[in-house]
Structure 1
Amino acid sequence: MFRRSRPRTALVDPPAAPEGAATAGLVPELIADGWVLPRMFRVGGAPSWTLVGTVASPVATPVDGAGLVVGEGWSLDWWVGADDRWHVPAREASLRQQLLDRAPVVETLLRIPGGDAVHRAYGIRSPRDVGDEWVVAEVHNATAIPFAVALVIRPMVADGPGSVSEITVEPVDGASGRDQAQLVRVDGRPAVVLPRTAARYAAGNKNDGDVLDVVVSGRAGNEALSASCPDGLATLAMVFPLTHTSTLRALIPVGPVGDTLDYPSVVPDAETVASGWSVHRRGPRIDVPEKRILDGFESARAHLQLAHDGEVVRRDGHRARTMEPGATELVLGALDVLDMPLEVAGVVARWPDVLGTDPAPEVDAVLLTVISRHWLLHRVEEMLDWVLPEFAAAVERIDRADRRGRIATAASRRRVTDGLRAASKALAAAGQPEAATRVDVLAGRVGRDLPDPKPVTAADRLDVAAGLAAAGDPAGIATIREQLVAASTTGTWAGPGAAGGSVARLVGDDLAAQGALVLAIRNLLITEGPNGIAVVPHHPDDWYGGGIEVHDAPTSFGPLSFAIRWHGTRPAILWQLDARPGSGPVTLTAPGLDPTWRTTEPRGDALLAEVGPPAGVERVSMVVEHPDIAPEMRRPGSEPEAPTGPMPGGGGFS
């Protein structure tokens, strides 16, 4: 059927995160001693945070629900001294958090007398001697009166204790005017750069206790301090005055860093960075009459790029496994349908050299799923020829594993079956019908008598929703809506435990769920069969009368654009399919709107059958017909008026 591949070396994941002297068993003791702990210990539930960073960065940085920015075994917190009292975000009820422009820019707003103290965290690139990636943690005074802000180095991470033995402060270059920039080292490593000297300092450790009481009581001193603790609980607060409308920006270096570093000369603000993420939202555009779904799609397509470092993808943006069934195929699948083939190819290109001689069947299924989808959508023949031996070997290994009873669990069998089905589809499209049939028979054997899926995580549930949506099942969009409601205010979901230390830590922002969301929403709008494409396989009642647009969506038949416009009770469709050469007639249908309509024309427009108003809609307002509708399809009467504005750009319909 195929050529065999040569033996490979095993894929090696990064080392586990180091475990410090401060362990999870300390939490009850710290609570009893009055330490300020991360917000999750007050609100309860699974760990939750939002990742920030830059495109193709090997490290995405967690920001918790109170604006705590997490480093390696430590974090940077912020407390605000207002007119009435000191406000600690981790303990405050009057706290809101959101994304700026649906980008990985986390804004945390703390209500205080006179307005809001605003904390924003985001990734930038700015040159330094070693590396160029940073996370900015800025505090803005949006009130009408001054306040004090304490930036606090904490021996904590978002979900528990970390470990900090020593904190020191030293002057460095990079400040403007008379200000002297300051470098904060954590255990000797450059950790935070500040634009000026703090007005006051307070240090704490396990024996002396937390610094909160010292700061709140006004006992912080004006001399720069260091903090040390052999138990790994060193902490240091640096207090700055912040006048009305002013902003303080602290910078945290990410990735490799030299012995020292200065405050960067160029630090863009949060609004500029959020706006800049629009450049990275290239690819297909959609518009649907449901803001929550549209916002979720746009947010997910940006956040997904934090999973990709140019060579691998990881569901936690940092330390998760590089080949993880139930995650890797979701992230790469979403990048493929978002028309990012180079990013996917860069990951796939490494697989033949790192898979090892005997990967688990679930890992082989990831390979089959990703390569099949990638080739079907983008048809890079050279890539398929290159990985075909590994493709064949994966099928043979799965066959052998199934005969030996090594695919035991229902979840594993389902993933393997899905991978084989995808491989069969790709082989058929590549002109290998006999191989496709044999793989399909194997898929039937592995997937025989599978029980209904039992999703555990949001990624699992959204993956199930994608299948339901593709089948035109109303449960698909219902599940998507449920998961969007269950997401954090920044649109994130917790994931399963990731490798790290002796105990697996949960993923607070599961990028695999973002990938599953993109795939599920795509299937609400486009699904593909052997001979054609169905658009809007199910049309929700509450979308009745609302416009739908999809521009430049990759499909296995070529890029597709379409729009749905309503003319009273009749929907009209405009479409353009740039079919691949030699693909033959492609059938386009719209079963969610008019099950009887179909066409093989590559472009055009049509008025579909009347759709009765859903229950609860008593009257339908008649609207002007679109001027592009063919004359014979228009209702009798006067010529329709031209629209007041231009058609949205992108995708053609020319």
Structure 2
Amino acid sequence: MTADRMVDDTTAPVSVGVLGGDWRAHVTPWGAMRMWDAGGTLDWWVAADDRWHDPSREPTVRQARLDGTPVVETRLRIPGGDAVHRVYAVADGGGYTVVEIENDSPLPIAVAFDGMPLLSPRPPTDMPIAGIELPAGTVAYPIGHHATLVVAIAHGSPGTASLPAVLPTRQQVAHGWLAVCERASRLLVPDSATNAAVVAARCELLLAGPSAATRHPVDFLLDVGELVRMGTMAEPWIPEVSDAVTALASHRDDPLLAAAVDAAERVCLAAREARAVRDLALIRLRLLPGEPS
């Protein structure tokens, strides 16, 4: 898999964040960022040559992920081209979520943000915003033709005074996600679009976590099995794996039952839970009596 192709598969909010950190947000289909912890929403608007454009209301908005990873690109049509909004999170310096606005047009534009404190390499314009009603506290930045503005949200450093001079690029971030996803189960897929959809599902699993252990035990065990394959520690999952295995008794007709038991065994082996592995062998005989031994 190579991180160089945008895949237009984003019809629902996309989770963004970094592995090993708690900061999470959803990117809406029009590019707004909604923090999971009720920490606010970062909205954006674009002033182009003709008028102000509200991405949440524009029919020309298109969104895609970079090879299925949580590197999200939202394009807004403006005269002569697009305003391109990109979001991705990096772990450097305690974690940042980077927002790029590229002016892919021959005319200057301005972008306005509201809802979150931003770090930027230059201060926002002090000119009053005219021609649109925006919330108090909205900040705006001019962007020249074919230029890019980079701002960021600090995850755990509210006192950070400025944007770091060097951060990983979106291509580097995408390559990192692909490297993690490639540790998961091997699948033969018919085309690159399906491959990107698999990557997207795995990234969402890594960021959002598995299904509920007792409500959806088969899904939970399959999810945790993949998480462990992708490098998540197995030991903390053992109590919930036990609960999910117990709940499998009411899911005997599930066609993925055997795969779920296999996943539970894999997690227990990774956690070096020898007794649990032996117990699973007995549970397998009860749940799957016709399975070849």
TM-score range, shorter-chain basis?
Answer: 0.7 to 0.9
Aligned to 1:530: 291
Superposed, 1:307-318 pairs within 5 Å as: 307=208, 313=209
Please say if 1:238 is aligned against 2:200.
no
Give the Cα–Cα distance (whole angstroms) in 2 for the partners of residues 76 and 303 of structure 1: 20
Superposed, 1:50-61 pairs within 5 Å as: 50-61=14-25
Aligned to 1:365: 247
The structure with the larger Rg is 1
- Letter in structure 1 aligned against 2:28: D
Give the Cα–Cα distance (whole angstroms) in 2 for the partners of residues 342 and 194 of structure 1: 34
C-alpha contact (below 8 Å) 2:66/2:174 kept by paired residues: yes
C-alpha contact (below 8 Å) 1:55/1:305 kept by paired residues: yes
Give the Cα–Cα distance (whole angstroms) in 2 for the partners of residues 341 and 291 of structure 1: 21
Give the Cα–Cα distance (whole angstroms) in 2 for the partners of residues 260 and 314 of structure 1: 33
Aligned to 1:484: none
Q: What percent identity do the matched residue pairs reach?
A: 28
Superposed, 1:202-217 pairs within 5 Å as: 214-216=129-131
- Letter in structure 2 aligned against 1:530: E
What are the superposed Cα offsets for residues 530-573 of structure 1, whole Å, 9 maximum, x if unpaired?
338xxxxxxxxxxxxxxxxxxxxxxxxxxxxxxxxxxxxxxxxx
How big is the shift at 1:363?
A: 8.5
Aligned to 2:114: 152
TM-score after normalising by structure 1: 0.37
Give the Cα–Cα distance (whole angstroms) in 2 for the partners of residues 295 and 347 of structure 1: 29
TM-score after normalising by structure 2: 0.76
Give the Cα–Cα distance (whole angstroms) in 2 for the partners of residues 141 and 200 of structure 1: 20
Please say if 1:63 is aligned against 2:27.
yes
C-alpha contact (below 8 Å) 1:76/1:151 kept by paired residues: yes
How many residues are paired up? Answer: 273
Q: Which of residues 222, 225, 236 in structure 2 aligns to 1:336?
A: 225
For 2:98, what is the secondary structure of its paired residue?
strand
Please say if 1:199 is aligned against 2:100.
no
Give the Cα–Cα distance (whole angstroms) in 1 for the partners of residues 47 and 25 of structure 2: 26
Please say if 1:286 is aligned against 2:187.
yes
RMSD, aligned α-carbons? 3.8
1:150/1:373 CA distance change after superposition, 3 Å: same
Extract unaligned runs of 5+ from structure 2: 1-10, 251-256
Q: Which of residues 98, 101, 108 in structure 2 aligns to 1:136?
A: 98
Give the Cα–Cα distance (whole angstroms) in 2 for the partners of residues 282 and 271 of structure 1: 16
How big is the shift at 1:195?
A: 1.8
C-alpha contact (below 8 Å) 2:221/2:261 kept by paired residues: no
- Letter in structure 1 aligned against 2:108: P
What are the superposed Cα offsets for residues 44-68 of structure 1, whole Å, 9 maximum, x if unpaired?
xxx9411111223323211111100
- Letter in structure 2 aligned against 1:199: T
- Letter in structure 2 aligned against 1:192: L
What are the superposed Cα offsets for residues 336-363 of structure 1, whole Å, 9 maximum, x if unpaired?
25761752614324659xx9xxxxx879
Superposed, 1:200-599 pairs within 5 Å as: 200=126, 214-216=129-131, 235-254=136-155, 256-283=156-183, 284-307=185-208, 313=209, 323-326=212-215, 330=219, 332-337=221-226, 340=229, 342-343=231-232, 345-349=234-238, 351=240, 364-365=246-247, 372-377=261-266, 380=269, 383-385=272-274, 387=276, 426-428=280-282, 439-440=286-287, 530-531=291-292
Give the Cα–Cα distance (whole angstroms) in 1 for the partners of residues 50 and 32 of structure 2: 23
Give the Cα–Cα distance (whole angstroms) in 2 for the partners of residues 272 and 113 of structure 1: 31
What are the superposed Cα offsets for residues 498-537 of structure 1, whole Å, 9 maximum, x if unpaired?
xxxxxxxxxxxxxxxxxxxxxxxxxxxxxxx8338xxxxx
Extract unaligned runs of 5+ from structure 1: 1-46, 154-185, 203-213, 221-233, 308-312, 316-322, 356-360, 392-422, 429-434, 445-528, 533-654
C-alpha contact (below 8 Å) 2:224/2:263 kept by paired residues: no
1:290/1:282 CA distance change after superposition, 3 Å: closer
Give the Cα–Cα distance (whole angstroms) in 1 for the partners of residues 77 and 271 of structure 2: 57
How big is the shift at 1:98?
A: 0.7
- Letter in structure 2 aligned against 1:90: S
C-alpha contact (below 8 Å) 1:124/1:134 kept by paired residues: yes
1:372/1:59 CA distance change after superposition, 3 Å: farther
